[in-house]
Chains A and B, each alone.
Chain A
């Protein structure tokens, strides 16, 4: 009875045509849903932008989010920064000692951190730690109709819930990245100077001599601001547009981490090319 089902019959007769059609349909659907996702995101971004400044009429809500997003991410950021610094110190020392140039260890560690690893690694950790939490929280609020209830109480959920979280991410990211870099430089100092015996004054002196406040530190801050904005936007968007089911929440959370990580790495390349020349 089963093999006489018309589905099977049709596909054996026109097998290749059917496969081709299915493939094309899948491609087309994928493209269309990606385009729809982008469109939704653009529309959502517009709605959010409109409410970014009004959100500052309630600074307490933003402070609350800086706490939930930034302060609670501190531990993971600082520990990771320390380890990254230690590794940079070790690897840098091994490479530089071949050229008899271990005096430059400080500047190598510091520039790697301030220009690249500080903003990027912080952003990736931030997406995993804070971005996913924001998405899950908003998606759950949507699933349990809390956002809808807010709307029915004449309270704008984008202004009350979404915008403060976006601001929290934008404000917290550069601060976290700065602390990450600083702890990393200290980690490099520990390995290089305390353990491996690089000259302490050279470590700091080379950093001071070679690092430019505008070119290096400012660019790092700009990068981390951009990353904070991207992660914040992706996180609130995915949460706000999550399918209101438990599977929908888990998908949205995953998508936040994947999409924001990819965007951070891609944007990092574009920003680096723009700032330091392609």
Chain B
């Protein structure tokens, strides 16, 4: 199947920090694809690259045939109208009610009459089971409810592509179950292409069709959940990540954190010269 989203030799660095190192990904249409990896591997960055919010240093991101890294701002905006993104904390507009939040994209991008907008909003809130809370302010909603309202908002314009940023983090088991069912059923019912980034292994393996595991800026494993389980014995990192095994001495992350800890205690010399590090620590004061 022709990939819907394609990363080609993409490198992205934040400051001196290389986050993606010549990465290649192909995300198929109409499927749920999960990007997994430990915290700090730039999973959210990856979603922002897909949305064209940030530009890579080199390489390309193709979304439905459009090169998001070189697209004109007009083409970029047109593409964004076709995608919905669920932010980690929902990112609801705090001064609008739940219903007004869902209505926001409709009011911005369509000229629909008020009655029509109300009906669509009711429909979307119904889909996430929150019609009764339409007039609540976001502050009055629980975290899980806020995320579902945000999901309704992301779906308001019937997107072709849904991006989920850590949808399960910090949710109670009931909410996780609800979200899992929502994501899976939306994907089936609407024929969406879904990309979700997460580090919650069980949840992801329950719904994903395809999983990429990223570590240290590279794809270390990919395949269906079953294929990954089969690969597990051969890839040390995969075993550690999927099984939640404690850091062993082989793990680079483990070595790093031990070194930082030791440096902080004054046991080991820092690698930078003294003058430099002192001056750098002062720069924060400005």
Which residues of A are at the interface with B, using a C-beta cutoff of 8 A? 1-2, 5-7, 10-11, 18, 21-22, 25-26, 29-30, 33-34, 140-141, 144-146, 148-149, 151-155, 160
**A-B interface pairs (CB < 8 A), number:** 86
The answer to whether A7 and B282 touch (CB under 8 A), given A149-B85, A149-B87, A152-B80, is no
**Quick check: is B259 within 8 A (CB to CB) of the other chain?**
no
**Quick check: is B77 within 8 A (CB to CB) of the other chain?**
yes
How many Å from the CB of B266 to the closest CB on chain A? 5
Tell me if A25 and B275 are in contact (CB < 8 A).
yes
Chain B residue nearest in CB terms to A33: B286
Chain A residue nearest in CB terms to B85: A152
- Can you list the 9 inter-chain pairs with the closest CB atoms, starting with the nearest? A25-B279, A154-B80, A149-B91, A145-B91, A154-B77, A152-B85, A10-B274, A7-B274, A29-B283
Contacts of A34 in B (CB 8 A): 286
**Quick check: is B55 within 8 A (CB to CB) of the other chain?**
no
Contacts of A29 in B (CB 8 A): 279-280, 282-283, 286
The answer to whether A146 and B83 touch (CB under 8 A), given A6-B269, A10-B274, A33-B286, is no
Complex CA–CA separation, A18 to B276 (angstroms): 10
Contacts of B81 in A (CB 8 A): 153-154
The answer to whether A11 and B91 touch (CB under 8 A), given A1-B266, A29-B283, is no
Q: Which of B89, B91, B104, B282 contacts A26 (CB 8 A)?
A: B282
Contacts of B109 in A (CB 8 A): 153-155
Chain B residue nearest in CB terms to A11: B274
**Quick check: is B250 within 8 A (CB to CB) of the other chain?**
no
Tell me if B83 and A2 are in contact (CB < 8 A).
no
Tell me if A144 and B89 are in contact (CB < 8 A).
yes
Contacts of B48 in A (CB 8 A): 148
Contacts of B104 in A (CB 8 A): 153, 155
Q: Which of A1, A21, A30 contacts B286 (CB 8 A)?
A: A30
Contacts of B276 in A (CB 8 A): 25
- With A29-B282, A146-B92 known, 16 other A-B pairs at CB within 8 A are A7-B277, A11-B274, A21-B279, A22-B282, A26-B283, A144-B94, A146-B94, A148-B48, A152-B80, A153-B80, A153-B81, A153-B109, A154-B77, A154-B78, A155-B108, A155-B109
**Quick check: is B278 within 8 A (CB to CB) of the other chain?**
yes
**B80-114 interface bits toward A, Cβ cutoff 8 Å, 1 = contact, 0 = none:** 11010101110111100000000011001100000
Contacts of B91 in A (CB 8 A): 144-146, 148-149
**B243-286 interface bits toward A, Cβ cutoff 8 Å, 1 = contact, 0 = none:** 00000000000000000000000110110011111111011001
